[in-house]
């Protein structure tokens, strides 16, 4: 049995360790090139974007070598948000798009995400075919058919211009001060430029990447710096992106943070009143708060839940014809505008709501009262299966019985890290803590014994 490469969002791991090695990136590039260059002509092209991680240079060069060895022509975008790659893959008539990023992870991790010619992330079948070709090996093209590679600057500018078209006509952000935290990541130029060109006064944070500081003490996973900056500068709003800018957290003028659930609640209600919400439903994952579900129900709207991962959200949206979805973690998917989660686009749409309603961010960020929710992670070693232990299953069964009719329990393995995530919701804070801590303690005990 061969090792599986693809997880919930492409291939990801510790840089310079399997599978995030230069050799594997070359093989992935060659396999993807062979899979998408089906007719043997030299007119095929692939766009490659990346975030600001040190290892991005290594992986970018290796992917390019693999792709050009199969006759694919490569357009190198440089640092751009993940959603920019999805959009440009389609708009530039590329056969394939690749983003080099580990999203919200620390700099020492990296990943490779693939987009098909329609701008959406690859299907499970396409990933399986690429994985098969990686393990079987790919025959390179003859020397006169080797592809070309070149760097282009226009990709980022095209994306910026497109984002501005999603803001309401004849509206501007004049007089609105925005703290924009780019997590020292892929949007460090794109986000400030776009918001400034829309008229906002910009206070940039996390815009000095050095290859090692991506997501470090900033961004959507660490909002303290941005929240403090909003209050200190008297800003109207804070927008926090993650390393590849497909996630967002919003900070109101008081320094309070709104997660993806609150943002989706605002968009769903705003769009429903305007007749823009297709199917009268919002698509989210099993992680979204019970309070969001109750809020939507009170407005006659549905919450449709999927497995964790924005690709599952997008699949459900496309299958059911819905146009709004996302994750509590800040992936906001608006298929009227984009093919994947887009943090900057979501920030622009939030600002549009502010302009159209005349309400401050604090009113728009608090759409519903959350049900107390507790999430804890347990790290385990490769090869371990602590969730299968009888003692762990017994603790989980007991917890489910105690929560029956009072809340929810969700336990799952992370698709990107060796973590088991234990999450519960319950109105009783004391019971909530006991349940999560009890499960975590048992999982840790089993993991410690190997």
Q: Pairing between strand 324-326 and 201-205? A: unpaired
| Among the listed residues 310, 326, 343, 414, the one whose alpha carbon sits nearest the alpha carbon of residue 51 | 343
Known catalytic residue at 269: no
**124: Cβ–Cβ under 8 A, 6 or more apart, which residues?**
none
Helix (H) or strand (E) holding 67: helix 56-69
Dist CA 29 CA 67 (whole Å) = 5
Residues facing 334 on adjacent strands: 324
User: Alpha helices of 341-428 — where are they, by DSSP H?
Assistant: 343-357, 361-365, 390-403
Residues facing 115 on adjacent strands: 97, 121
Q: Output the CA torsion 439→444→447→448 (10° steps).
A: -150
Phi and psi angles of residue 239, each rounded to the nearest 5 degrees, phi first: -120, 120
- In the numeric block, the tokens 């303690």 are attached to 441
**CB-based burial label for 365 (10 Å; 0-12, 13-18, 19+):** buried
Helix (H) or strand (E) holding 299: none
The DSSP code sequence of 427-448 is: S-HHHHHHHHHHHHHHHHHHHH
Contact (CB, 8 A) for 344 and 163: yes
Contact (CB, 8 A) for 294 and 337: no
Catalytic residue among 55, 69, 101, 103: 103
User: Alpha helices of 255-384 — where are they, by DSSP H?
Assistant: 260-273, 290-298, 310-320, 343-357, 361-365
Say which DSSP state 118 is in.
T
Indicate which residues carry an active-site annotation: 103
């Amino acid at each position: 049995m061969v090792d599986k490469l693809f997880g919930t969002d492409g291939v990801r791991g510790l840089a310079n360790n399997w599978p995030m090695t230069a050799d594997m990136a070359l093989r992935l590039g060659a396999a993807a090139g062979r899979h998408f260059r089906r007719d043997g002509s030299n007119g095929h092209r692939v766009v490659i974007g990346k975030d600001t991680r040190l290892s991005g240079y290594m992986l970018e060069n290796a992917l390019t070598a693999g792709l050009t060895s199969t006759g694919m022509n490569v357009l190198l975008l440089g640092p751009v948000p993940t959603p920019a790659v999805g959009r440009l893959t389609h708009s530039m008539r590329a056969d394939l798009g690749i983003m080099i990023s580990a999203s919200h992870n620390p700099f020492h991790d990296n990943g490779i995400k693939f987009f098909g010619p329609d701008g959406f992330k690859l299907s499970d079948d396409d990933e399986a075919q690429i994985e098969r070709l990686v393990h079987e090996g790919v025959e390179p093209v003859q020397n006169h058919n080797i592809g070309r590679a070149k760097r282009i600057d226009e990709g980022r500018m095209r994306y910026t211009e497109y984002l501005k078209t999603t803001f309401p006509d004849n509206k501007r952000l004049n007089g609105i001060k925005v703290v924009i935290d780019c997590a020292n990541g892929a949007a460090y130029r794109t986000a400030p430029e776009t918001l400034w060109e829309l008229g906002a006064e910009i206070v940039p944070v996390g815009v000095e990447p050095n290859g090692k500081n991506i997501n470090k003490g900033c961004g959507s996973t660490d909002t303290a710096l941005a929240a403090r900056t909003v209050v200190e500068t008297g800003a109207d709003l804070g927008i926090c992106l993650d390393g590849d800018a497909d996630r967002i957290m919003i900070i109101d003028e008081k320094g309070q943070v709104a997660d993806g659930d609150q943002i989706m609640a605002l968009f769903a209600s705003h769009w429903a009143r305007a007749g823009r919400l297709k199917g009268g439903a919002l698509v989210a994952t099993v992680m979204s708060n019970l309070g969001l579900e109750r809020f939507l129900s009170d407005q006659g709207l549905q919450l449709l839940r999927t497995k964790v991962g924005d690709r599952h959200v997008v699949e459900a949206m496309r299958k059911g014809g819905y146009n709004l979805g996302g994750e509590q973690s800040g992936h906001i998917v608006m298929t009227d505008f984009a093919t994947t989660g887009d943090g900057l686009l979501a920030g622009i749409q939030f600002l549009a709501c502010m302009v159209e309603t005349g309400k401050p961010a604090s009113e728009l960020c608090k759409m519903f009262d959350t049900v107390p929710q507790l999430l804890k992670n347990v790290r385990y070693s490769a090869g371990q299966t602590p969730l299968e232990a009888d003692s762990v299953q017994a603790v989980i069964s007991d917890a489910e019985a105690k929560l029956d009719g009072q809340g929810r329990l969700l336990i799952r393995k992370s698709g990107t890290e060796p973590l088991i995530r234990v999450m519960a919701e319950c109105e009783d804070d004391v019971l909530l803590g006991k349940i999560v801590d009890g499960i975590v303690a048992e999982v840790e005990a089993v993991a410690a014994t190997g």
